[in-house]
């Protein structure tokens, strides 16, 4: 087996050195009747070529985003990732390193985490960010728990524009922890009365912008009322590229900003691994979940970085920790940091403008298709349209014509009476030809 360096001769010598006559003696603590006599009933070892064939055949059964006109978003977005990113994250010293518990030989990881934290803080308009969560959805659930710790209340209010999966993750964790959650009705047109939901019993209000249906939300009034009642505003995003063009939540009074960073540096990868971004105000730092990297000096006075404030974490505080998170999204953070470094604010803002321009073009052309109504007053690179037929059927029919045309709202919100709604995203990857193919196919299937 190509991955195992020991030869049978080595094994024999080593057993002798240990002083046992067979490998089974080393497994003697396993009760004899529980020991497997033979390997499990599964295929035997195979060479690279065979494994490539098996997995290649599975991969070929999927339609790759780059191979078709592609307009699917709703929490994960198809963007172009520069070749440099994928090369660098495969450097052995990044790929095969561990959580930087030994900082003297992990300055590479620690420095990029420090850079990542700074980039996320700048983007969101917040004071500090952590070294990542698993993804936007779990980050949102952790933000709610953090708000409960800060306010010593246990009731969260979720906007009807929050991504339905995110809302479900929050509800699941809250139910398990015995906390209360109020979920407002799905809000297609950003018309819900968030202010009415805030009172002195509420720990936090969770609002996504751009929201699940694509609408941009002005959070200032919500922040003001939340603060007046001692509650926190948690601002959520699923499309981090939007922050290149729209007012960051930090400038609108958010106390915690949390979201999905996949769009920058990371592949779609059927839903994971992704990278959760998590930022807050300086005064709440010690209530934050997750790892934090901080600056310090070494014994010779040179600048260096270490993991810090770990008294919040499970390996020190155990059942009193702020979260149970341990492994996070290290390499996805690195991909994010590299891509963001290549972009800089100049490239990011331009990328965001291209996304917005493409979405505007697409929305205008779709709105001209008979029977189609675009519902959004505002949007960034994603919007919702109403169709004369169930959106799930339309999407299947479009796929049959080689166009991946969006996400039916009913897939995430079944039984909500929103079966005719389709969420459509457009990024820099879409061309005029893609748009023409979409319009053409849509006209045929409607």
**Distance from chain centroid for Cα 54:** 29
Cβ of 81: how many Cβ atoms within 10 Å? 17
Between CA 437 and CA 125 the distance in angstroms is 39
Q: How far is the CB of 197 from another protein (least distance, A)?
A: 22
Q: Least CB distance from residue 15 to another protein, whole Å?
A: 7
Q: Where in 148-187 is the site for another protein (CB under 8 A)?
A: 163, 165-166, 168-169, 171-173, 175-178
Q: 279 has which bridge partners?
A: 129, 257
Any idea which residue has 């033979």 for tokens? 38
Of the two residues 59 and 368, which places its CB atom closer to another protein in the complex?
Answer: 59
Q: How big is the CA angle at 240 (ends 122 and 263), to the nearest 5 degrees?
A: 125
Binds another protein by CB under 8 A, chosen from 156, 205, 216, 387: 216
- Looking at residue 49, what DSSP letter applies? H
Tokens matching residue 417: 């009476």
Residues numbered 51-80 forming contacts with another protein, rule: CB under 8 A? 51-52, 54-67, 70, 72, 74-76, 78
Examine residue 30 and tell whether it contacts another protein (CB under 8 A).
yes
Q: Quick one: which of 21, 152, 200, 318 contacts another protein (CB under 8 A)?
A: 318
155 beta partners:
180
The answer to whether 138 and 169 have CB atoms below 8 angstroms apart is: yes
Integer CA distances (angstroms), 431 to 308, 313, 357, in order: 46, 47, 11
The total of other beta-carbon atoms located within 10 Å of residue 147's CB is: 28
Find the shortest distance in angstroms from Cβ 43 to another protein: 6
Closest to another protein by CB, 67 vs 191, is 67
* Residues 328-357, interacting with another protein (CB under 8 A): 328-332, 334, 337-338, 340-351, 353-354, 356-357
Q: Which segment (16-24, 148-156, 198-206, 228-236) binds another protein by CB under 8 A?
A: 16-24
**Residues in binding contact with another protein, number by CB under 8 A:** 210
Segment (H or E) for 143: helix 136-151
In the numeric block, which tokens belong to residue 289? Answer: 């979940």
CB distance 84 to 338 below 8 Å: yes
Contacts of 339 (CB under 8 A, 6+ apart): 81, 82, 85, 264, 265
Could you say which residues in the range 247-306 bind another protein, by CB under 8 A? 247-248, 260, 267-273, 275, 285, 291-300, 302, 304-306
Part in contact with another protein (CB under 8 A); list of ranges 133-141, 180-188, 193-201, 435-443: 133-141
The yes or no reply on residue 189 touching another protein (CB under 8 A) is no
Site for another protein in 363-422 (CB under 8 A): 363, 376-380, 395-396, 399, 404, 407, 411-412, 414-415
Joined tokens for residue 79: 């963007």
Nearer to another protein, 151 or 323 (CB): 323
**List 151, 208, 263, 358, residue binding another protein (CB under 8 A):** 358
Q: Which residue number, 101 or 199, has a Cβ lying nearer to another protein?
A: 101
């Amino acid at each position: 087996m190509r991955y195992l360096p020991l030869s049978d001769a080595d094994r024999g010598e080593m057993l002798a050195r240990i002083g046992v006559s067979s490998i089974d003696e080393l497994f003697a603590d396993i009760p004899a009747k529980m020991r497997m006599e033979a390997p499990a009933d599964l295929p035997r070892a195979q060479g690279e070529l065979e494994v490539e064939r098996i997995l290649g055949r599975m991969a070929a059964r999927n339609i790759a985003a780059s191979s078709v006109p592609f307009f699917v978003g709703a929490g994960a977005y198809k963007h172009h990732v520069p070749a440099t990113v994928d090369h660098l994250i495969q450097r052995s010293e990044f790929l095969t390193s561990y959580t930087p518990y030994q900082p003297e030989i992990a300055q590479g990881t620690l420095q990029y985490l420090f850079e990542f934290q700074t980039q996320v803080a700048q983007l969101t308009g917040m004071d500090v960010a952590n070294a990542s969560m698993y993804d936007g959805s779990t980050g949102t659930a952790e933000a709610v728990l953090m708000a409960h710790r800060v306010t010593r209340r246990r009731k969260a209010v979720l906007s009807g524009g929050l991504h339905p999966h995110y809302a479900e993750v929050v509800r699941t964790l809250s139910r398990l922890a015995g906390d209360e959650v109020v979920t407002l009705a799905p809000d297609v047109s950003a018309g819900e009365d968030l202010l009415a939901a805030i009172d002195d019993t509420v720990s936090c209000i969770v609002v996504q912008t751009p929201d699940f249906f694509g609408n941009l939300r002005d959070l200032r009034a919500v922040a003001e009322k939340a603060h007046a009642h001692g509650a926190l505003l948690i601002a959520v995003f699923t499309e981090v590229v939007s922050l290149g063009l729209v007012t960051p939540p930090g400038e609108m009074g958010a106390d915690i900003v949390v979201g999905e960073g996949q769009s920058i540096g990371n592949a779609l990868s059927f839903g994971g691994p992704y990278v959760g971004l998590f930022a807050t105000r300086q005064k709440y730092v010690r209530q934050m979940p997750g790892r934090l990297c901080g600056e310090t000096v070494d014994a010779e006075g040179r600048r260096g970085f270490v993991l810090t404030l770990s008294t919040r974490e499970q390996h020190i505080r155990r059942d009193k920790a702020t979260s149970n998170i341990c492994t996070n999204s290290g390499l996805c953070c690195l991909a994010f940091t590299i891509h963001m470094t290549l972009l800089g604010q100049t490239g990011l803002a331009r990328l965001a403008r291209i996304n917005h321009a493409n979405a505007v073009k697409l929305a205008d052309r779709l709105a001209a298709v008979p029977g189609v109504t675009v519902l959004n007053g505002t949007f960034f690179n994603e919007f919702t349209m109403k169709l004369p037929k169930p959106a799930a059927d339309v999407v299947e029919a479009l796929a049959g014509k080689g166009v991946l045309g969006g996400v039916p709202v009913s897939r995430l919100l079944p039984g909500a009476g929103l079966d005719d709604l389709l969420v459509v995203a457009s990024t820099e990857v879409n061309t005029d030809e893609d748009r023409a193919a979409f319009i053409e196919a849509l006209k045929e299937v409607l």
